[in-house]
Amino acid sequence: MNVLEAILSRRSVRAYENRPIPSDTYQRLLDSLRFAPSACNYQPWRFILVQSEDLRRQVAQGAKNQMWMADASLIVVACGRPKDAYKYMGGYGNSCEIDIAIALDHLSLVAVSEGLATCWIGAFDERQIKHLLQIPDDVKPVALMPVGYPKTPDLNHPADESDRKRPDEIFSDDFYA
């Protein structure tokens, strides 16, 4: 599977088989996070790898009770460390959340190439997740990502064209339009 094929076949999957990920696959998932680019290569992140079933359940509760997440073999809680990040994006912006997003997106694509599926999770209670996973005050959980075997294998299927804006709505040549 090439990268574009992985991009086109990735879908958000919300039903997983509760079974473990083999260790060689698991290692490749971690590599996809570790080797992601970050501004100035500061790598302002920590990834909490939640594998125990009980903790997965509690994380799902902290994610607005999206309990289907708990069936995924792994939930990655991607934490940004803003104080370690590049702070001058466009002259003023902190790169932390962008850096994390790149790493998680790499993870989602490598997951597809391994026959796994993911879903981005932005709907969660930050205070609840921080308390549960002992995340320090100055560290921010940016997003969560369950990773697991899709209950229906063809849930990773090509996106429907009608699901996305048309090219003429989002691309412009030379100047903003």
Ligand X SMILES: Cc1cc2nc3c(=O)[nH]c(=O)nc-3n(C[C@H](O)[C@H](O)[C@H](O)COP(=O)(O)O)c2cc1C
Task: Assess 86 for contact with ligand X (CB under 6 A).
Answer: no
Give the binding range for ligand X (CB under 6 A) out of 54-62, 87-95, 115-123, 133-141.
115-123
Give the binding range for ligand X (CB under 6 A) out of 7-15, 30-38, 39-47, 132-140.
7-15
Task: Assess 67 for contact with ligand X (CB under 6 A).
Answer: no
- Taking the complex as a whole, how short is the minimal distance between the CB of residue 20 and ligand X, in angstroms? 23
Q: Distance from first CA to last CA of the chain, Å, rounded?
A: 35
Buried b (16+ CB within 10 A) or exposed e, 128-160: bbbebbebeeebbbbbbbbbbbbeeeebbeeee
Q: Is 65 exposed, middle or buried (0-12, 13-18, 19+ CB in 10 A)?
A: exposed
Task: Assess 8 for contact with ligand X (CB under 6 A).
Answer: no
Kindly state the number of chain residues that form the binding site for ligand X, as judged by CB under 6 A: 11
One of 21, 50, 98, 121 touching ligand X (CB under 6 A)? 121
| 46 φ/ψ angles, rounded to the nearest 5 degrees | -135, 140
One of 22, 90, 122, 167 touching ligand X (CB under 6 A)? 122
One of 11, 56, 81, 130 touching ligand X (CB under 6 A)? 11
The residue among 109 and 121 lying less far from ligand X, judged by its C-beta, is 121
- Taking the complex as a whole, how short is the minimal distance between the CB of residue 93 and ligand X, in angstroms? 17
- Taking the complex as a whole, how short is the minimal distance between the CB of residue 108 and ligand X, in angstroms? 9
One of 42, 47, 86, 120 touching ligand X (CB under 6 A)? 120
- In whole angstroms, give the CA distance from residue 138 to residue 177: 39
Sign of CA dihedral 8, 113, 80, 42: negative
- In whole angstroms, give the CA distance from residue 88 to residue 40: 11
- In whole angstroms, give the CA distance from residue 15 to residue 91: 42
- Taking the complex as a whole, how short is the minimal distance between the CB of residue 175 and ligand X, in angstroms? 28
Site residues (vs ligand X, CB under 6 A):
11-12, 14, 66, 119-123, 143, 159
